[in-house]
């Protein structure tokens, strides 16, 4: 190793010069090590985010949607699948294609309501399922947007629902005639959106509460759908915004 000495300085002064150089070199080394450490941390964080994004993308692609997910849907707290129309076209499909003779059909007493159907599959739904389906029917009706706090919902047997109109009357697409005795339930308007196995679920509060790992209660309000969905996703810790919005009624929201 070659050392340059200044002949105009004594030994102590030359030593002091090299001591200062050594301190500067040490500080530079420490700074370089700190910079390297920060870079490694950023790389690890970026790698983790990429792996999480890839995992979510893989789950999104690999999960096959069930047939009922094209409609309004939820599983009641008693385990019954309940489906409802999203519009006039799907109202027709729900009643004509997916309603069996032992099922139970729901509708509100006012216009602008979805038809909801409890798929009994040979079982007998209790009051919990009946009340939850009534709440879903009310909440996804026009009553939500109108700001009505509760509405009357009725349920009937499938055989009471028909497209056969009275003489001189015309039945629009998505609408049906109801004949015979109706069973009424007074239902409040509120829903919940939750998450279970990284899948967004939604519907009546008690049903979602029974099935979700985490959930957010949604009531009528002034918040826009996009803003509500972002806040819900944050509270749930995940979920696609589009999937959350699909479970929101038409109108405004408060959480």
Q: Per-block average pLDDT, block size 10, for the chain (255 residues)?
A: 63 65 70 70 76 61 83 97 95 94 94 93 96 97 94 95 70 75 96 94 97 96 95 94 96 94
Sign (positive or negative) of CA dihedral 203, 206, 211, 212: positive
The reported pLDDT for the residue numbered 41 is 75
User: What are the CA-CA distances from residue 89 to residues 69, 114, 137, 231, 239 (Å)?
Assistant: 15, 11, 16, 31, 27
Question: At which residue do the structure tokens 């979602």 appear?
Answer: 208
The reported pLDDT for the residue numbered 115 is 95
SS3 2: coil
Strand 81-84 and strand 72-75: the pairing is antiparallel
CB 139 within 8 A of CB 72: no
The reported pLDDT for the residue numbered 162 is 85
Please give the DSSP secondary-structure letter assigned to residue 62: H
The reported pLDDT for the residue numbered 224 is 95
Paired tokens of 58: 């893989």
Cβ-proximal residues to 86 (8 Å cutoff; 6+ apart), any chain: 70, 71, 72, 114
Rounded CA separation 148/41 (Å): 53
Paired tokens of 173: 């697409």
Rounded CA separation 190/218 (Å): 6
The reported pLDDT for the residue numbered 36 is 73
The reported pLDDT for the residue numbered 18 is 61
């Amino acid at each position: 190793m070659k050392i340059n000495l200044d002949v105009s300085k004594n030994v102590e002064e030359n030593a002091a010069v090299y001591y200062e150089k050594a301190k500067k070199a040490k500080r530079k080394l420490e700074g370089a090590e700190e910079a390297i450490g920060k870079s490694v941390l950023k790389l690890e964080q970026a790698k983790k985010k990429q792996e999480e994004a890839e995992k979510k993308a893989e789950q999104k692609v690999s999960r096959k949607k069930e047939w009922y997910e094209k409609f309004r849907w939820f599983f009641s707290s008693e385990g019954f699948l309940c489906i409802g129309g999203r519009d006039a076209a799907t109202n027709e499909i729900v009643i004509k294609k997916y309603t069996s003779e032992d099922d139970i059909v729901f509708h509100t007493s006012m216009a602008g309501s979805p038809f909801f159907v409890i798929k009994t599959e040979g079982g007998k739904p209790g009051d919990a399922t009946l009340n939850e389906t009534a709440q879903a029917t009310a909440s996804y009706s026009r009553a939500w947007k109108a700001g009505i706090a509760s509405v009357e919902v009725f349920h009937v047997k499938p055989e009471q629902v028909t497209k056969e109109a009275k003489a001189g009357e015309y039945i629009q697409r998505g609408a049906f005639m109801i004949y015979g005795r109706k069973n009424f339930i007074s239902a409040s308007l509120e829903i919940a959106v939750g998450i279970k196995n990284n899948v967004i679920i939604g519907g009546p509060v008690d049903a979602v509460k029974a099935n979700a790992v985490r959930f957010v209660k949604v009531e009528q309000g002034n918040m826009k759908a996009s803003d509500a969905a972002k806040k819900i996703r944050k509270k749930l810790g995940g979920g696609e915004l589009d999937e959350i919005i699909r479970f929101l009624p038409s109108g405004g929201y408060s959480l």
